[in-house]
């Protein structure tokens, strides 16, 4: 008796792809990026990430995951709702995590380090909405709206305290030196 593969419905496929893309970021299992996104995948929210995360394809997703995981540990996406219409999927989520590493902001278009938020150790839960376009059985495009202001308040970036501003300036100087030497 031979096993027959049952084709996934578009809803099941999109749901699996969305969950798998979040898992790449949650677990750091970067090999999953290749199976999740198309070779020309684009993340429209990567404008303040390192230049390598602004490229296309699985390597760009891997770079985004690495960048996020450097700043935040215990990352988890709680999916509240997932809707699929034709080739589009929308996920309403809460991203949970803890700010345990430097969050480095890069300028657009040259990728220079503009701001660095040193770790505060604080936990956060920030609401987000993610849009995905599915093509050829993988995610071809990603965009999002995130509550970055809420995240900034929860982790202690806002309101800015004088001692934290000094830590930010020192961290930015350190990250700029690292960028020049690496």
- pLDDT tens digits, residue range 34-65? 999 999 999 999 999 999 999 999 999 999 99
4 found inside a domain:
no
Question: What CATH code is carried by the domain that includes residue 169?
Answer: 3.10.450.50
**In whole numbers, what is the pLDDT of the chain averaged over residues?**
93
For residue 109, count CB atoms less than 10 angstroms from its CB and return exposed for 0-12, middle for 13-18, buried for 19 or more. Answer: exposed
- pLDDT band per the 50, 70, 90 thresholds, residue 108: confident
Asked, for residue 70, whether it belongs to a domain, the answer is yes
Report pLDDT digits (tens) over 149-177: 999 999 999 999 999 999 999 999 999 99
Q: Token digits for 25?
A: 């970021």
Q: Residue 80 falls within a domain, yes or no?
A: yes
Task: Let me know if residue 3 belongs to a domain.
Answer: no
Which residues have a Cβ under 8 Å from the Cβ of 155 and sit 6 or more positions away?
A: 99, 117, 120, 122, 124
State the residue for tokens 């806002």: 158
Residue % of the chain over a pLDDT of 70: 95
How many residues make up the chain in this entry?
182
Answer whether residue 2 is part of any domain: no
Instruction: Answer whether residue 14 is part of any domain.
Output: yes
């Amino acid at each position: 008796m031979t096993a027959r593969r049952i084709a996934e419905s578009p809803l099941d496929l999109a749901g699996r792809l969305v969950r798998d893309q979040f898992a790449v970021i949650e677990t750091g299992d970067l090999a999953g990026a290749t199976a999740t996104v198309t070779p020309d995948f684009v993340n429209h929210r990567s404008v303040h990430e390192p230049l390598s995360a602004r490229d296309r394809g699985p390597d760009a997703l891997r770079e985004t995951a690495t960048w996020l995981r450097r700043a935040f540990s215990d990352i988890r996406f709680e999916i509240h709702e997932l809707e699929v219409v034709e080739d589009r999927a929308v996920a309403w989520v809460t991203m949970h995590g803890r700010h345990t590493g430097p969050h480095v902001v890069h300028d657009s278009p040259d990728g220079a380090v503009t701001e660095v938020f040193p770790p505060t150790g604080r936990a956060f839960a920030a609401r987000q909405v993610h849009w995905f376009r599915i093509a050829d059985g993988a995610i071809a495009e990603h965009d999002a709206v995130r509550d970055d202001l809420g995240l900034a308040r929860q982790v202690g970036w806002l309101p800015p305290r004088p001692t934290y501003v000094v830590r930010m300036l020192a961290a930015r100087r350190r990250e700029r030196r690292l960028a020049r030497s690496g």
